[in-house]
Amino acid sequence: MSKRFLISVLTLVLWTPISASAGTKIINLDPGDSPLNNLYIQDDMLATLDDQGKTKFIYDNKRQTMTILQHSDKRYMQVDQQSLAAMVGGLSKMRKQAMKMMEQQMAGLSDEQRQQMEKMMGNMMPAPPEEQTAPEFVQTSRSDKVNGVNCRWLEIRQGGKKTSEACVAKLSDTKLNEKDYQTLQGFFKVIEKVVSEFGELEQDMQLNNLMFDKNRVPLKLKDYKHSSGKEVSLEFIPGSFDVSLFTVPKGYQLQSMPKMSMPEN
């Protein structure tokens, strides 16, 4: 290999711009307690930041793991499919233990005392998810435009009652790329698994999970479950982000997930 050829190759490498990974930032134009507050997506990863601009949550779509960071004590917890199954199993065991304990303690009580005991135990333990009728997905004739993008309103009805709706656009009409869209889909599916054991919370994820499906992208969402008609508008901004947003800082210690069980007698 000639010296001139080697110099030419090195020059080409040094002067050729390195293309950064394309990502997407999702901005909630109506900030509040929505799970869609300023999400950063890139390379099969999703992250949210706290008020100080530090990463507080990371989702890895390839591994389907969730990482929760605790900057105050430089620790983090990680939830994967195995730990999630253990958590759900622990919750089920707690319910059975609580029911057995309640039955033992209620033996010989008066009706009034029994009602008080049932109420106390009900407040202490998360209730198992109630049976829900399958949501009805209704496409309306109403159309809209959000940030210059055309969308059509879809409704979700539960038991004949409208619980939420969203104005959705085609993925190809938005600035959200297909890879980041798949990461969002994976994120909502895993989150739904996590909250499915907690009844009412499962319904809160229903709209997001159904809207990010079949190349649909929600641009505006409304929630009617609590008769509030709360509205959320989303903006998708392409960008490239520092990989540190999606990584646990050096020196942080892994903290074990708390075991969900009741003390043995």
Please give the Cα distance from 199 to 132 (Å, whole number). Answer: 9
Of 238 and 116, more confident: 238
Give the DSSP per-residue string, 4-22.
HHHHHHHHHHHHSPPPPPP
Contact indicator for 142, 152 with CB cutoff of 8 Å: yes
Q: Collapse the DSSP code of 26 into the 3-class scheme (helix H, G, I; strand E, B; otherwise coil) and give the result.
A: strand
Is the pTM higher than 0.85? The answer reads no
Domain ranges of the chain: 136-236
Q: What is the pLDDT of residue 161?
A: 85
The winner for highest mean pLDDT among 40-44, 63-67, 116-120 is 40-44
Q: What is the pLDDT of residue 188?
A: 83
pLDDT in tens, 222-233: 888 765 567 888
Q: What is the pLDDT of residue 43?
A: 95
Confidence of residue 51 (pLDDT cuts 50, 70, 90): confident
pLDDT in tens, 131-163: 566 778 888 999 999 989 999 999 988 888 888
Of 199 and 161, more confident: 161
Strand partners for 231: 222
